[in-house]
Amino acid sequence: MNLLLEGEKSKRLTFRKITPSDFDSWLPFYKDPTSTQFWEGIEKDPKIACKNHFEGVFRRYNNSLGGMNALLEKESLEFIGMCGLLVQTVDAVKEIEIGYSILPKYRKLGYATEAAKKCKEFAISNKISDSIISIIHINNIPSQKVAIANGMFLDKTTTYKNNPVHIYRIKL
């Protein structure tokens, strides 16, 4: 099943696969300490953290586990973030997650919500699953607001990769 939104568009965004040339555009995400403030186990060196992230993106692509899409602002084609459908295992159950991360200078402009809603629409129209989740650290209120705006409800609280998280869910 194809989980990538390559070529999809929303009101302000174009989705495409991440490429190695996106590394320098994504590096500011890891240079801003607020980007990873909630997650334990993230490499502190921004270049190493970014390299690890990109390796994970390409590993997902190569193993049909979904993946993050580059989010480009439609008119300027500026790289503003990543969003996608990801195969995750939470509490020994395989799930499809909507994951999203926005570069610091583009936060609080509605891009995460717009991208997450597009992922939900894609999942519905392609009958990907009967429900989808977002895995969000219990202290990450901005991401929780995105999930709620995407029609998700708090399903449970658990531990994921040694972090306390809320699992937001929507039944499709």
Single out the residue of 130, 19, 128 nearest to residue 68, CA to CA: 19
CATH number at residue 79: 3.40.630.30
Provide the number of structural domains found in the chain: 1
Any domain includes 6: no
Give the whole-angstrom CA distance, residue 54 versus residue 56. Answer: 5
Residues whose CB is less than 8 angstroms from the CB of residue 164 and which lie 6 or more positions away in sequence, other chains included = 137, 138, 157, 158
Any domain includes 7: no
Single out the residue of 141, 139, 80, 149 nearest to residue 113, CA to CA: 149
14-42 residue pLDDT tens: 999 999 999 999 999 999 999 999 988 88
Give the whole-angstrom CA distance, residue 90 versus residue 150. Answer: 20
Burial class of residue 111, CB neighbours in 10 A (0-12, 13-18, 19+): buried
Residue 1, pLDDT score: 76
Domain range spanning residue 64? 13-171
Residue 98, pLDDT score: 98
pTM of this structure: 0.95
The owner of tokens 């193993």 is 63
